[in-house]
Structure 1
Amino acid sequence: MIFIVLFINFICICISSTTADSDCIAPPMECPNENVTFWLYTRQNEDEPHQVLAMDQESIESAPWVQDAPIKILIHGYTGHKDFSPNTEIRPAYMQCCNYNIISVDYNPIAREPCYIEAARNTELVGMCTAQLIDQLVQKYGFNLTQFHVIGFSLGGQTAGFIGDYVTSGKLERISALDPAMPLFVTTDNNKKVDRGDAKFVDVLHTNALEKGKLEASGHVDFYANGGITQPGCKATKEQTKSGCNHARAPVYYAESITTDVGFYATKCYSWIIYMIGWCEMFDSADEILFGEYVPRNVKGLYFFSTNSEPPYARGSNQKTKNRRRRSSNYFRRGIK
């Protein structure tokens, strides 16, 4: 099955390349780059983003920074822009919970349809230019590298890995890759895909593995929502394919993790195969951790959680369900004695 899916993705890429026209561009690896822009949002200017230019002192010093607050960098995927997923889900959630600095990266001119091959290639350029901005803020303007948390969706998840590779100020504190793109990123070269070496802590979410997203464990901790391949409640519509719906759930789940009072609780499993055949409890404990914004930074391995089929998606702790099942089982055993 895996080989069939990979072959289908390969055919899709080939079709993309034959239909691409002169609008498909892969600019030189030079930063700053007019195709990569950065937009700062805070509660002060939530509806009027401030453009930040890496090599422009005035644009940086006049920006409405929230002093000493975390800096969340959001990176869209293929065909996206600063007002496209994951920005539309995650940015409002942060605005609701916290007065943070939110930087939305916009590289739409070099990520447009039908130019997937070029868009995938351009993720390295976007990563390099974003790293340049981070280094400028740290080295010239007194920001602390520990303030930065990079969150990328799809191609943006792979872009986050390149940011980690190109930053010269030290190692990024955290990268969150949301269903990082699979096509053209199936490689053994860790410098060409997001991996645990790109930051001090890399957490990865899988929602559409083997189609648009990767199945491969890529971080210090990898979360597989509902097994990581399909999501409950997703179906094909006029606006979106079923695969697209599964893929798009990644930023939705992450955004909900920022504000939910219930929480996405995940349990550890030795491997994806062990999870799929239902043997996790034979190998791992039933201890739970939170997925998302508040994931513990000391966890490692593969974790799995289930969701509802419609919002709110978080289901809370699995221990309550297990305790209910245990009590029911004990009652049944007492009844048959």
Structure 2
Amino acid sequence: MCSPKYILSILFLVIIITPSAPGVDGNMMSMLDFRYFRCVMKREWKCPDSEIGFYLFTPERPVSQRINVRHIHLLPKLGWKLTRKNVFIVHGFNGTHAKTPMSFIRDAYLWRKDYNVFMVDWSKLSRFPCYLSALANMRLAAQCTAQLYSYLTQNGALAKMITCVGHSLGAHICGMMSAHLTKKQYKIIGKSVFLE
């Protein structure tokens, strides 16, 4: 049986985190939104993780190609070229690899014709209204992305030819990747979001 303190703390989180629905009369029950209980907070920190996806886009193949990180040696067959620069693009809270502004950033790099573009999709771990669990899940997203980064450097890619671009919480993931790398990242570009 749940203690009263536990129930009150969950109720507080639901009320604070969940936006009120339009046209609601303001009573206590209308404030409850049990969508919060669909949030995912990872307890195991193992990579690869099925809820973190990586997608490769290249100038020759500007379409989404999911990378099977268990068979990472197949990257060249997907169009990855060692001679090109690499960019990791990481979305923020309630984003995906296919939503704007991430798609704009991806297309800008592809337009240059000299980048392998890796999109990191951790949307299942960062969906609305689960901000608190998204904060906790950033560590795992950073760890798994760092493993892919390490694979590239171990197979000849130069760190100075790899950039990590992050939007909002994605910027923090780019920074957190360094904790899992033996070589420092050369370039991180971050854009945070401020609410007005």
TM-score where L is the length of structure 1: 0.47
User: What root-mean-square deviation, in Å, do the aligned CA atoms of Structure 1 and Structure 2 show?
Assistant: 2.2
Cα distance in 1, alignment partners of residues 60 and 83 from structure 2 = 15
SS in 2 for 1:161: helix
- Alpha carbons 1:152, 1:158 under 8 Å: kept: yes
> What's the offset of the Cα at 1:142?
2.2
The equivalences for 1:160-309 within 5 A come to 160-168=174-182, 170-179=183-192, 208=194, 211=195, 243=196
Is 1:43 paired with 2:59? yes
Shift of 1:152: 0.1
Match of 2:93 in 1: 78
Larger Rg: 1
Distance apart, 1:40 and its partner CA: 0.7
- 1:150 match: 164
What TM-score do the two structures reach when normalised by structure 2?
Answer: 0.78
**How many residues were matched structurally?**
170
State the AA in 1 paired with 2:40.
Answer: I
- 2-structure distance, mates of 1:12, 1:100: 43
Superposition deviation, residue 14 in structure 1: 6.7
Looking at secondary structure, tell me which structure has more helix per residue. 2
Distance 1:12 1:88, change over 3 A: farther
User: Which gives a bigger RCO, structure 1 or 2 (Cα 8 Å, sep 6+)?
Assistant: 2
Cα distance between partner residues in 1 of 2:15 and 2:184: 36
Identity of aligned residues (%): 25
Map 1:5-44 to 2 at 5 A. Answer: 15-16=16-17, 19=33, 20-27=35-42, 28-44=44-60
SS of structure 1 residue aligned to 2:109: helix
Name the counterpart of 2:140: 125
Alpha-carbon shift at residue 21 of structure 1 (Å): 3.1
Whether the 8 Å CA contact 2:14–2:36 is kept in 1: the answer is no
Match of 2:122 in 1: 107
Aligned counterpart, 1:240: none
- Structure 1 residue runs without a partner (length 5+): 1-10, 182-207, 212-242, 244-337
Contact kept, 8 Å, 2:57 with 2:117, in 1: the verdict is yes
| CA–CA distance in structure 1, aligned partners of residues 105 and 14 of structure 2 | 29
